[in-house]
C-alpha cells in the first residue's frame, strides 16, 4: 500500500517534467521546420534535441529516476546552447536577445521549469532513501 501511494505522490512531478519536455520539443521542432534545419550543426542539433525531448517525455512518466536525471541534463544542455548562441556564438551561429519571439522565451521557461522540477524530484528521491 505504501509503495502505491508513494508512486502516485511522485506522478505530478513526472507529469510536469514531461509537459516541459514536450513544450521544448515542440518549440525546437517548429524552429527546425521554419528554417533552422538549413543552419549547419545547429539544425541537426535542434532535431536531436526535439527527438530526445519527446522520447524522454514518455520515459519520464514510467521510467526510473535516471530518466529524470537525463531530462535535467537535456535541459541544461539546451539552456547552455541558448546562452552560447547569445554570447560567443555556437558553431558560428548567433542570435540576439529573445529572438525568435516568442519561441525563445517559451523554450527557456520550459527548460528552466523542467530543470527545477527534475532537481526537486531527484532531491526528494535522495532524501527518501
Could you report the per-residue pLDDT of 73-127, keeping only the tens digit for each? 999 999 999 999 999 999 999 999 999 999 999 999 999 999 999 999 999 877 7
Torsion sign (Cα): 85, 90, 94, 100: negative
Say how far apart CA 76 and CA 30 lie, in whole Å. 20
pTM: 0.90
pLDDT given for residue 1 in this prediction: 43
Residue 81 near residue 45, CB atoms below 8 Å: yes
pLDDT given for residue 110 in this prediction: 98
Amino acid at each position: 500500500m505504501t509503495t502505491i501511494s508513494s508512486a502516485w505522490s511522485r506522478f505530478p512531478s513526472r507529469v510536469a517534467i514531461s509537459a516541459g519536455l514536450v513544450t521544448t520539443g515542440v518549440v525546437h521542432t517548429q524552429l527546425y521546420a521554419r528554417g533552422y534545419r538549413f543552419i549547419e550543426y545547429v539544425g541537426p542539433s535542434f532535431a536531436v534535441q526535439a527527438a530526445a525531448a519527446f522520447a524522454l517525455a514518455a520515459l519520464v512518466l514510467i521510467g526510473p529516476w535516471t530518466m529524470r536525471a537525463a531530462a535535467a541534463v537535456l535541459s541544461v544542455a539546451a539552456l547552455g546552447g541558448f546562452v552560447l548562441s547569445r554570447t560567443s556564438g555556437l558553431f558560428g551561429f548567433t542570435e540576439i536577445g529573445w529572438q525568435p519571439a516568442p519561441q525563445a522565451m517559451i523554450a527557456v521557461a520550459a527548460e528552466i521549469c523542467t530543470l527545477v522540477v527534475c532537481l526537486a524530484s531527484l532531491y526528494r528521491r535522495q532524501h527518501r532513501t
